[in-house]
Amino acid sequence: MRKYSHNHLLFLHDFSIPFDNNISERDLRKAKNRQKMAGGFRKESGHKMYCSIMTIVETLKKRNMGLIENIRKLFIGTPAIFYPV
């Protein structure tokens, strides 16, 4: 712990770094709550569809992209999430 104390406490010096590492846990919590509320997914296909949709929605949110506009693009066949070349 002493050897890497600067890395462990970096959030004290650089405020752009979050003090926790729970981003993935927060994202998984939505799926877990959905599973508990509805009593679980009835079929594997429903679970896969839910995860695919939430992946797109959460990625758009994290990139601060317009949610409705980009989902509309997906329905007309235009890629909404792309990496500029």
User: DSSP characters for the chain?
Assistant: --TTHHHHTGGGT-TTS-S---HHHHHHHHHHHHHHHTTS-SSHHHHHHHHHHHHHHHHHHHTT--HHHHHHHHHHT--SS----
pLDDT digits (tens, 9 = 90+) for 16-72: 877 776 777 787 788 778 777 766 777 888 888 888 888 888 888 888 888 898 888
pLDDT at 85 over 50: no
pLDDT at position 83 is: 56
- pTM for this predicted structure: 0.58
pLDDT at 84 over 60: no
Half-sphere exposure of 32 (CA within 13 A, CB side): 6
Confidence of residue 1 (pLDDT cuts 50, 70, 90): confident
